[in-house]
Amino acid sequence: MVLEGLLEKPGSMLLRDPRDERISPSSEGVVALVGVPWDWSVTGRPGSREAPSSIRREFYRLSRHAPGVGLDIGCSISDLGDIAVAPGDHGVTHARIRRAAEIVFSKYQLAVFLGGDHSITFSLASGLAGVVDSLGLLVMDAHYDLRSVSEGLTSGSWLWDLYSERGDRIACAAVVGVSDYRNPGYLAERARSLGVRVVTRRAVSGGLERALEAVDDLASCRARAYYLSIDMDHIDQAHAPGVNSPTALGMDPRDSLEIILYASSKLEPRGVDVVEVVPLADQGGATSRLAAELVAHAITVHGVCRSAQD
């Protein structure tokens, strides 16, 4: 019995349009895509260990064509798979993440990481700081992530930990989207003392000027490399219900998109991550789908991909 012509690869599109070109991985890509399935640092809803596969699925369903920004994704993607986390072992896992990041950043001008909880950004940014001596950070988040806790782990301390360990490498940092009633008061003063520029969600709702000025300030600090971290909990829970810590009255994703487009084009970050998606709490995959689109837009306008289209 001959099955040729009767079977196709698992996951193949049912839409039979041969000219509908979707995003797909390549063995010789110029952009690295890496999953980081770690979520043992959350004190809210667990499950972001499942997010890399969920966001990937939505990412590879996207067309390469982006008429809204007048571009296609012109560069190829090397999907390197997932970092082999050691379940529950924070020390081993974060040493692996940091080492993997150093290797990836040494080879690629743009690396995209799919989390995972936000604690992974500590190790990823530490890996980039091991490759360059001056780092600029843009964080989209409802929280400052500058906590210091008396015991245990929390994904809300990664930025404080990064300053504590690699502060000599951080040239500038900004957090956009910080929401009311989501943070203890001492964190605002801690951000000021570190020189972290904070643009609250309420400030963004009045217009994007202050957020875009924060990006301009980052560009003016002339760091050797920039890192963009997108915590999906900064977006209103109506649009991003499947996160570790849902935010009522969070940011509109259209505002988030404009800031990400501006930052990716102007800063050309070496690293981009998207974190805190919890697929088991998601409604119809809305949060994973939104995360995939934000990542795709960040890649499309980045200098690496614009050069590929010229």
Q: Say which CATH number the domain at 71 has.
A: 3.40.800.10
Q: How high is the pLDDT of residue 11?
A: 67
| Domain-embedded: residue 118 | yes
Q: How high is the pLDDT of residue 248?
A: 95
Q: How high is the pLDDT of residue 221?
A: 96
| Domain-embedded: residue 17 | no
Exposure string (b/e) for 262-274, b if CB count within 10 Å is 16 or more?
bbbbbbbbbbbbb
Angle at 12 (CA atoms; ends 11, 14), nearest 5 degrees: 115
- Answer yes or no: are the C-beta atoms of 158 and 121 closer than 8 Å: yes
Q: Tell me 131's DSSP state.
A: T
Distance of CA 33 to the CA centre of its chain: 11
| Domain-embedded: residue 53 | yes
User: How many structural domains comprise the chain?
Assistant: 1
| Domain-embedded: residue 13 | no
Task: State how far the Cα of 57 lies from the Cα of 130, in Å rounded to an integer.
Answer: 31
What's the pLDDT band for 70 if we cut at 50, 70, 90? confident
| Domain-embedded: residue 195 | yes
Task: State how far the Cα of 283 lies from the Cα of 161, in Å rounded to an integer.
Answer: 33
Mean pLDDT within 38-63? 95
- Answer yes or no: are the C-beta atoms of 98 and 81 closer than 8 Å: no
Which 3 state secondary structure label does DSSP give 43?
A: coil
Who's near 233: CB < 8 A, 6+ residues apart?
Answer: 141, 142, 143, 240, 243, 244, 245, 246, 247, 250, 276
| Domain-embedded: residue 169 | yes
**Domain region containing 210:** 31-147+155-309
pLDDT digits 0-9 by tens, 99-148: 999 999 999 999 999 999 999 999 999 999 999 999 999 999 999 999 99
| Domain-embedded: residue 226 | yes
pLDDT digits 0-9 by tens, 282-303: 989 999 999 999 999 999 999 9
| Domain-embedded: residue 260 | yes
Q: How high is the pLDDT of residue 1?
A: 59
Mean pLDDT of the chain: 94
